[in-house]
Amino acid sequence: MLRARNAPALPTVSFDANARRHGRLRVAALTCTLGPVLDLSASGMRVECRGKPPIREGEAAELTMHAPFGPFTVRTRVHWIRRAGFRRYHIGLEFVDMTDEGRKALNLIARSVPTDVTIGRDAA
């Protein structure tokens, strides 16, 4: 890998590190019914919830997404819930039965995210 002297390397996301089907994008200014969206992929998203989550693993949830261009709805299934600190939880949600409206909105969000992560295999 070539880079300018003393320039930091871009972080690399390894496909071997986890079982993700799609790369993740860190998003800003995107919230949903449960709380702020931390990251997003083609197959799902990770959300931070303040307080005890109102849903459980395996449950389906229709969520309203609040993007800068306006609200839209997505259907999801709770894949996992993890404690992330005092009264904070991270929730892994998988998109299910994606509508054309939802797909277009998520594509618009993905195109607006500045990418600073190289998605590929580690050289090690």
Rounded-to-integer distance, Cα 23 and Cα 120, Å:
9
Q: β-strands 12-13, 118-119: how paired?
A: parallel
φ/ψ of 71, rounded to 5, equals: -80, 155
Cβ 45 vs Cβ 37: under 8 Å: yes
Predicted TM-score (pTM) above 0.75: no
The mean predicted confidence, pLDDT, of the chain is 81
Please state the rounded mean pLDDT for residues 16-37: 76
Sequence spans of domains, the chain: 24-114
The pLDDT value recorded for residue 116 is: 53
Class of domain 24-114: mainly beta
What per-residue confidence (pLDDT) applies to 124?
Answer: 46
Say whether pLDDT at 4 is over 50: no
The pLDDT value recorded for residue 27 is 83
Predicted confidence band of residue 115 (pLDDT cuts 50, 70, 90) = low
